[in-house]
């Protein structure tokens, strides 16, 4: 913060949530400037605004593709409830997997994430993350290659359940 008023500087420091790192400040400045408007209400840097909008559109498309990739490997129970655009994870119902056995272990709400991890090395968060015990939280905002490997491992696990 650029000011000569030490009292103001100290007051801001006392009320801030923590240290503002230089990288964070620079990123915030670039975002802010993309939306900055002059007194006439027009964008001050329309080329930056357009570049940011294009970047965000690309990110949204990429996330939508990743969402679809992951959805292919998970049960379709209530999947229609989770098809809305956006987000960084899916939270499908896992009821069609519950009660089934894999290697002599019966899948329950409590052990499902651990058993899936044991067989696939893919992390699914338990229903506690979603507030619904029959669901899991599956993150797809990871590198595509990693996601594709996870998808194949989950598909193999599902085949083993159908066995």
Q: Are 67 and 138 in contact (CB under 8 A)?
A: no
Packing angle of the helix pair 46-71, 144-162 (nearest 10 deg): 20
What is the structure's pLDDT at 50? 97
Query: What is the value of pTM for the model shown?
Result: 0.77
Question: Where do the structural domains in the chain lie, given as residue ranges?
Answer: 6-51, 60-162
Least confident residue range of 17-31, 61-75, 102-116: 17-31
135 beta partners = 93
Q: What is the rounded distance in angstroms from the CA atom of residue 153 to the CA atom of residue 100?
A: 18
The pLDDT mean for the chain works out to 89
Angle value at C-alpha 146, between 141 and 148, nearest 5 degrees: 95
- For domain 60-162, is the CATH number 3.90.1150.10? yes
pLDDT tens track for 71-129: 999 998 755 655 555 689 999 999 999 999 999 999 999 999 999 999 999 999 999 98
What is the structure's pLDDT at 129? 87
Q: Pick 4 or 94 by higher pLDDT.
A: 94
Model confidence at 23, pLDDT cuts 50, 70, 90, reads confident
Model confidence at 31, pLDDT cuts 50, 70, 90, reads confident
What is the structure's pLDDT at 162? 86
The DSSP line for the chain is ---S-HHHHHHHHHHSSS---HHHHHHHHHHHHHH-B-TTS-BS-HHHHHHHHHHHHHHHHHHHHHHHHHHTTS--TTGGGG--S--SEE--B-TTTTT-EETTEE--TTTHHHHHHHHH----B-GGGTT-TTB-BEE--S-HHHHHHHHHHHHHHHHHHH-
> Does residue 47 have a pLDDT over 60?
yes
The total number of residues shown for the chain amounts to: 163
Q: Are 74 and 154 in contact (CB under 8 A)?
A: yes
Q: Pick 16 or 158 by higher pLDDT.
A: 158
23 beta partners = none
């Amino acid at each position: 913060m650029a000011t000569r008023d030490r009292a103001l500087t100290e007051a801001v420091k006392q009320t801030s949530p923590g240290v503002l790192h230089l990288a964070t400040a620079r990123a915030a400045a670039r975002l802010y400037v993309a939306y900055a408007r002059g007194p006439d209400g027009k964008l001050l840097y329309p080329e930056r605004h357009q570049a940011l909008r294009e970047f965000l559109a690309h990110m949204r498309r990429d996330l939508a593709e990743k969402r679809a990739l992951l959805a292919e490997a998970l049960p379709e129970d209530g999947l229609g409830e989770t098809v809305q655009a956006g987000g960084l994870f899916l939270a499908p119902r896992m009821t069609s997997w519950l009660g089934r056995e894999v290697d002599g272990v019966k899948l329950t709400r409590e052990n499902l994430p651990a058993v899936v991890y044991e067989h696939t090395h893919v992390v699914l968060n338990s229903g506690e993350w979603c507030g619904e015990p029959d669901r899991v939280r599956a993150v797809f905002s990871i590198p595509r290659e990693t996601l594709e490997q996870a998808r194949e491992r989950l598909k193999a696990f599902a085949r083993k359940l159908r066995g």
